[in-house]
Chain A
């Protein structure tokens, strides 16, 4: 039928279009070559995403898992439950708040630390390579090792416990792995584990700043602070912005650190959204509810994602102009 329709359709060949085709204009490139990538993307991203949305609308649990396509459709009931409460005792809304606070705090603390570290090894000095290597230790350590080490260090007589006591934060009777303190233990651990990421980004950015700019500043007799403020930071804005956005996303999605440090069920103050999703899906077997929480995570993650792509677009437009 379609063929018949096409055959009866008047075919007009526009001379200008023909002309463009001969020139091999961008609109006529063989985009079908992208098919394998498109198919793979669809399989890896689109299909699971659609499935997750669908599962979030089902009452999918251990009883219905085997014939999951026939699980009862319950509309937005999972969303209502996720935002009001769950079997764990922490609603997705509570976990969302914990995750956002944790993500923003760790990123905000890790950013200046990473930048400062990058500045310390930006200029050549004897042993710089060794210092640079040492700075990378937190970044190369597997997350679960970091979590185990810090768990031990936060226990009574642990290094972190003693150091914090010595500087007047907490005391002998402070239990860093319990209650509200657990949140700060998680923040401290994650800052330690993640500042090196900002350091790498910042150092890469610093290396691209032309030496002439610093020389000009030196001729003007500017101070170190002024050079940082008027030369380095403006040139690092893009890199640090990207680092901050990626940090926010990474911290928000951090599952290993709270999971290994506190186990399950964790203290309420560290029940971040990924841990809540894990417990809901794999320990109490409410797969529908778990999928709902994942969708909520995705929606929240779209915010920094949107900002990032918008910034990229603006940067690209500015470049074109």
Chain B
């Protein structure tokens, strides 16, 4: 108050207040503008720094920092460019940083993206499409794990992602339980799988653990069973959603039948997410665990079943059959991995490309494998990694059976929609049954919603042309 009165007196003591006030106003506005400008430039970094946005590895937090430091030091020695790694802690954090960068046209130069997100990233048009010359500079497409390139872009001439980690999904099985049950090896068909699981169930142990309440896995199961039986979730030309088709209903039914018909899963698993399911397997309460990646090795190695488990590719022959039906695909896993992509707005694209080249060389790839356990995206490095760690063999054996998911910006909608249909069916599973017609109706309903997303993409493509 005293300050206000003081200013009042000063003001009234002047005959021409306006000219004196103007510089102050200008200064206030200038300060705000400068602050905003500096804020927007925070993301850009200096001209000799390359910013990389990558996921935080919570399992190897300290090792990841050491890895970042080593990479930055070595790359700076070679090129003069410093590398700053920014990390995101969750998918929502990643989305917020990515979307801010896309809208503002400033931010990290290089993004580490999951392969299932690449179609959405491509749809934004905010990532640099790599030319043949740039692929050549990276050492050629042939130096990468072949299947992984299928998710780098909608076609070979429109690729934005450079694979740096291969993360196929396989199954883990308890070798001791298999031996005791007289089962010689992992199942090769889903019929064998159900038979084995039935034999392994009993005395409080179940044949398999699964996670229908998980946010990521349900659509993978339905996708895999659908493709193996000759169906599709989205038509090959990306114009039609086929989630209401018989094959998709059969696929979802087969998975739910594990609970209701075959009784090979702990009934409590209806409310399990991935960690609960893995925990049951790690505690020896189930004999098999599906849809696992190499990231589960540290968990299982520190569990009760250490030394008593192995990995194997998942079966590819549908239940009740001895071979694939016409049109069926031996889809053992989705093409899953991690890619580097360069932001279109980056002023340092050449340096960013050099960094990606550096990061995808066998030496650096093997350093990443040694640090985090991931299988490299570089094919030579992947072979060397498997030689050094034979346990990764099962993962690379599954890789040739990896089938890319449909490269469409509507895939995010499809994942959520399928997850919703599964989530709505789970309460009935708790009563030991479900209505196939209700399930079919739900799938038809979400198919309409996915169709809208596909139509939206076509509209956008048309507008772009």
Give residues in A with beta carbon < 8 Å to B. Answer: 21-22, 24, 28-30, 32-33, 35-36, 39-40, 43, 61-66, 68, 85-89, 155-156, 173, 175-180, 262-268, 278-279, 282-285
Q: Does B92 contact A (CB under 8 A)?
A: yes
Q: List 30 A-B contacts (CB under 8 A).
A: A22-B12, A24-B9, A28-B8, A29-B4, A30-B11, A32-B21, A36-B32, A61-B460, A63-B124, A63-B125, A63-B457, A63-B460, A86-B449, A87-B452, A89-B417, A89-B446, A156-B271, A173-B430, A175-B427, A176-B271, A177-B213, A178-B427, A179-B426, A179-B430, A180-B427, A265-B420, A268-B424, A278-B92, A282-B99, A283-B415
Q: Does B102 contact A (CB under 8 A)?
A: yes
In the complex, A156→B214 CA distance in Å?
16
Q: Does B416 contact A (CB under 8 A)?
A: yes
The chain B residue with its CB closest to the CB of A85 is B449
In the complex, A39→B31 CA distance in Å?
11
In the complex, A24→B5 CA distance in Å?
8
Known contacts A180-B427, A267-B426; 14 further A-B pairs (Cβ under 8 A):
A24-B5, A29-B4, A29-B8, A33-B7, A36-B32, A62-B124, A65-B102, A155-B276, A173-B430, A175-B268, A178-B430, A267-B424, A282-B96, A284-B453
- Known contacts A24-B8, A282-B95, A285-B120; A156/B268 CB under 8 A: yes
CB distance from A106 to the nearest CB of B (A): 22
In the assembled complex, which residues on chain A have CB atoms less than 8 Å from the CB atom of B271? 155-156, 175-178
The chain B residue with its CB closest to the CB of A287 is B99
Assess whether B424 is in contact with A89, with CB atoms less than 8 Å apart.
yes
Partner of B28, one of A36, A268, A278: A36
Give residues in B with beta carbon < 8 Å to A. Answer: 4-5, 7-9, 11-12, 21, 25, 28-29, 32, 36, 91-92, 95-96, 99, 102-103, 120, 123-126, 213-215, 268, 270-273, 276, 409, 412-413, 415-417, 419-421, 423-424, 426-427, 430, 445-446, 449-450, 452-453, 456-457, 460, 463-464
Assess whether B268 is in contact with A39, with CB atoms less than 8 Å apart.
no
In the assembled complex, which residues on chain B have CB atoms less than 8 Å from the CB atom of A63? 123-125, 409, 456-457, 460, 463-464
- Interface of B (DSSP majority class): helix
In the assembled complex, which residues on chain A have CB atoms less than 8 Å from the CB atom of B9? 24
Assess whether A265 is in contact with B419, with CB atoms less than 8 Å apart.
yes
Partner of B419, one of A36, A85, A264: A264
In the assembled complex, which residues on chain B have CB atoms less than 8 Å from the CB atom of A87? 413, 416-417, 449-450, 452-453
CB distance from A144 to the nearest CB of B (A): 10
In the assembled complex, which residues on chain A have CB atoms less than 8 Å from the CB atom of B8? 24, 28-30
The chain B residue with its CB closest to the CB of A263 is B215
In the complex, A173→B266 CA distance in Å?
12
The chain B residue with its CB closest to the CB of A29 is B4
- The residue among B99, B416, B445 with the most chain A CB atoms within 10 A of its own CB is B416
CB distance from B213 to the nearest CB of A (A): 7
- The residue among A40, A155, A178, A179 with the most chain B CB atoms within 10 A of its own CB is A178
Assess whether B92 is in contact with A66, with CB atoms less than 8 Å apart.
no
Assess whether A155 is in contact with B420, with CB atoms less than 8 Å apart.
no
CB distance from B464 to the nearest CB of A (A): 8
Assess whether A285 is in contact with B7, with CB atoms less than 8 Å apart.
no
In the complex, A159→B272 CA distance in Å?
16
